Structure 1
Amino acid sequence: MKIIIIEDESLVAEDLANSLKNCNAEIEITAFLGSVKEAIAYFKNNPQPDLIFSDIQLGDGLSFEIIKAVPLHVPVIFCTAFNEYALDAFKANGIEYILKPFSGNELEAALGKFQNMQKLMSGQLAQQYQKAMETISNLQQPVSETIMVKYRDRLLPFTLDKIALFYVEAETTVMHAHNGKSYILTESLEDLEKRTNKFFFRMNRQQLVNRNAIIDVTDYFPRKLKVNLSFSFHKDVFVSREKRSKVLAWLAS
């Protein structure tokens, strides 16, 4: 069985690949694709696999956009961190999913439905993806993005509400969680800024802060802001006068 994984987090993709091979030793991962753009280019020039496992929200858009550009003739099983409301929509539209962080049992169950999904024709898939894409676009609640952190020999999932801030120190990106622990990340602050939703703000070049980690802000000479956090942090968080109005508008929204 040939499978392609579409996932913009390399650690998550590798973990998924290993878990799938543990479920079925005959599985062959033919490609890892990290973006909508990369996936479109790949499918235009390469044969399609038997099955696709895909994240929904990629760095450059929703994975549903891929089939709008390149008709797929194979089933897609989504690996998603979307809330239950969205998952209900997927079930109504006949699209299989597994919720991050996934378990071996969930993967086995998803693979067990592969034969039935294989009967779907590309036109039916396109209609289902379009309905799902419209549902996601109309959601009132924010996407529950999950950040996977490699810690020793484990992969730890953190939803955004569990993260206080990201910061750069000595050219290293660090995530500080609300549990008081910090973890080193391989992603840049720029990449994390794209992945986080409106509840995070890039205060300066070094710090990306979650709204739920802020007590208040105070004026700081000359015309700067000081962001006061709800926990002890070894560095002060300052906002330049150029960003002052944007931060105040963000906090008021």
Structure 2
Amino acid sequence: MKILIIEDEDLAVKKLQKTLATVDTTANVVGIADSIKGSVEWLTANPSPDLILMDIELADGQSFEIFNLIDIKCPVIFTTSYDEYALKAFKVNSVDYLLKPIQNDELQAALEKFKKLSSTYKPTDNSLEKIVKELQQKLQPKEYRKRFLVKYSAKLVSIEVKDICYFYSDGRLNFFKTPDNKRYAVDYTMDELEEMLEPEHFFRISRAFYVSVGCITKIEDYFGNRLVLLLNPTVDKEAIVSREKVTDFKKWMGK
């Protein structure tokens, strides 16, 4: 089994080589590359290996860029320090991943999985391309909304998200307020806003309210195991944290 290691840390390379020799006597490391540029050069100059062990974060960028520069025709096992839960879904796909520090039993299991798949893996499969794109979306920071263009006094104004205190529903319309107590209508549903707003700064306490951490002045117990918030500026509606949101809200406020 011919293996290419793409890894920019010397100690990690040595550990991988040692672990491979321990868990699989058929493993033969035919090449080592430590960058996007070096990986492309190696893959261009050499026959395709049977398998690539590929670190995600390299010195000159994320290894996903390699897939944009050259057609990789063999399975890839990613190695990464990213959180397990963000990558859990990829355990069931033909491309596996290993969390650093890499454990012997996990590498052995990944190699066994590769061997089972190798007989059916075809260069024309689009599974690798699909999984790389999904993995890239998981790991790259999401872009959140930075401003809203809204109508106010018969003109359009741009409001920075950092200057918004909270969003709320009033009848069929949704609004947000700024610290100067001005109210602006926004042409998005609460579900759409949930996808746009940075969860570090905004929390959806109910179907009708999305609040900023900096505008909460007081938190009080409310009947039905709920909470009620006092906000600044004030709002005509009660800002109630629904029962199913209370636990997550407390964690969010305690960050």
Instruction: Give the TM-score of the pair, scaled to structure 2.
Output: 0.51
Percent identity (aligned) = 38
Describe the shift of the 1:25–1:94 C-alpha distance in structure 2 as closer, same or farther (beyond 3 A).
Answer: closer
1:38 aligned to 2:41? no
State the partner residue of 1:182: none
State the partner residue of 2:5: 5
Where do residues 161-240 of structure 1 align in structure 2 (5 Å cutoff)? none
| Contact kept in structure 1, 2:3 and 2:49, CA below 8 Å | yes
Describe the shift of the 1:99–1:139 C-alpha distance in structure 2 as closer, same or farther (beyond 3 A).
Answer: farther
User: Root-mean-square deviation (CA), in Å?
Assistant: 1.9
| Structure 2 unmatched runs, 5+ | 144-255
Task: Report the structure number with the largest CA radius of gyration.
Answer: 2
1:99 aligned to 2:102? no
| Contact kept in structure 2, 1:93 and 1:131, CA below 8 Å | no
Residue 113 of structure 1 aligns to a residue whose secondary structure is: helix
**In the alignment, residue 134 of structure 2 is paired with which amino acid?**
K
State the partner residue of 2:139: 136
Deviations 1:135-162, CA, capped at 9 Å, x for gaps: 211359xxxxxxxxxxxxxxxxxxxxxx
| Contact kept in structure 2, 1:48 and 1:74, CA below 8 Å | yes
State the alpha-carbon separation in 2 of the partners of residues 85 and 22 from structure 1: 28
Q: Bigger shift: 5-14 or 90-99?
A: 90-99
State the alpha-carbon separation in 1 of the partners of residues 23 and 84 from structure 2: 26
Describe the shift of the 1:105–1:93 C-alpha distance in structure 2 as closer, same or farther (beyond 3 A).
Answer: closer
| Contact kept in structure 1, 2:80 and 2:100, CA below 8 Å | yes
Give the C-alpha shift of residue 59 in structure 1: 1.0
| Contact kept in structure 1, 2:94 and 2:117, CA below 8 Å | no
State the alpha-carbon separation in 2 of the partners of residues 127 and 120 from structure 1: 14
| Contact kept in structure 2, 1:55 and 1:80, CA below 8 Å | yes
1:29 aligned to 2:29? yes
State the alpha-carbon separation in 2 of the partners of residues 41 and 55 from structure 1: 17
State the partner residue of 1:126: 129
Give the C-alpha shift of residue 24 in structure 1: 1.5
Give the C-alpha shift of residue 86 in structure 1: 2.4
| Contact kept in structure 2, 1:93 and 1:132, CA below 8 Å | no
